[in-house]
Structure 1
């Protein structure tokens, strides 16, 4: 068996997050339609636009390493998104729906933050300076989205869910 390298690991993880981002891009409009809080709806739609830009940056990273942009099924994101679907179905029309959707969205963000943090570290080790710049831009966006969701949870969504209980 051939020896696997950090280059191989970087490429495999890049395929993983590329698949994940494309799935997330498809899921965000559905989450926005399901959300009851207008600010939460807008946060999902804003992040949809950002996600599409992140996909483009990932395609640039693939080009930088001389590989075709393609995804690899990511069981982790499949599971996280499935949980979001369950919340949409089980809590539809209830005061707790938005709190559940927001929590599901943060699970997605935390997954992405961990993946992009790892990819940035590996790109630095591999001296992929241009890839570092692209991946750091996405990592920053993901962190900002997570912070926005945290603020929204504490200032409105969780409060509304509790008041209705």
Structure 2
């Protein structure tokens, strides 16, 4: 995946892009004291090497009518995983699916307009195995970027 080590300028660029991927290249360049073409080349290289995997808008689920967020633990037998993965990739209400260690093999984060739709989805999931569902009341830390340099993690 990666062909070169990132330097401190690359880390700064990644941190800036994670906060605001729409920031004009000119402003990024001013922050890292490079020319716009130099910043553009660095970003392109990081995209090519897989450090940057995409850009997307963060939307407000509640404003769009998704009032229920839940975490679903699911026990999927190993021999069913490939069928499950094919199924789950088509489920648009699933915003994240992780294969994990522990009592359950999968943890899903889902968004639904109501508990009725959530209940129906859980019923469909149970064909793969046992479930345990946690409905989220509030979120103190939403999906966010990560420090580009793990050695420079700062706690505020």
Shorter-chain TM-score above 0.5: no
Structure with the larger helix share:
1
Q: TM-score range by the shorter chain?
A: under 0.3
Q: Name the structure where strand makes up a greater proportion of residues.
A: 2
- Structure showing greater Rg: 2
TM-score normalised according to structure 2 size? 0.27
